[in-house]
Structure 1
Amino acid sequence: MNVRSFLRSRTAVVAATAATAFALGAGGVASAADDATTAASSLVLGLIPVENNPGQPSSVTLECDPVGGTHPTPKEACAALTEVGGDFAKLPNVSGVPACPTTYAPVEAVAEGTWNGTPVSYKEIFTNTCFAAIGTNNVFKF
């Protein structure tokens, strides 16, 4: 499955799940009585193995303002993105962490969605998932 197909299918699943949860009034999703607000920033983040990397793709959702989604540390990820105005290319490296393993298992970090209502489409290839996390201020640490 290519990256675009993966993200489209993941985005469709997230949208369908959110719509179902909204209709059912599930916790964490505003009900009609709450005046149904959506996150100002809603992203699908993915780590897609490339080249000869036999790993499996992984993805999470990230919502900011209000903070939520399936990202393991959404508050920190939203704060990191807020610092750079949602510009993934400007995310700083994490400092003060041990070196990443030198294992060559390249992954493409991808983000699709919106940041404060502006469409986002980001792609960058990293040597492995550790470098993807460190190179994006842990936004891709999942």
Structure 2
Amino acid sequence: MSVQSRPGRAPGVRGSGMALRILTAAALFIDAGVHVHLAPGYQAGNSAGMGQGTLFLLESAAAVLAGLYVLLRGSRAAYAVAFAVAFSAFVAVVLYRYVDIPAFGPFPAMYDPVWFFEKTASAVAEGAGAVLAAVGFVRTGRRAPRQPG
């Protein structure tokens, strides 16, 4: 029996699983790269707390770590983390595009009512990353039962 054709699995499932991991990680890495690039321009701080640039750097660190976790493990937990990071970033960029939320606690007001290339690329990568991570989460939960000996 070859390694590619194991009982209970369709041929090529292993390859498509790796492709899904790579695509999910790539979406998170694009998101991280855009946030690192934009962070210096958004560093105006909230007098009571941190600047938006600092939040961008924290988000990019979370995206890199989640991308590496998915890439290296491809587990259900890795996809859950990737989904949480990508989806929360997507919600934040869309929310702050359309809703003027004032500063609260240590967080600055981040209303930015325009779309530009980097912001759009980030939102697309975050949305795609969330969808890919959700697919990966569902797929890793669907394990075919092992056939007895």
TM-score by length of 1: 0.28
Higher relative contact order (CA 8 A, sep 6+): 2
Task: Report which of the two has the higher share of strand.
Answer: 1
Task: Report which of the two has the higher share of helix.
Answer: 2
Larger Rg: 2
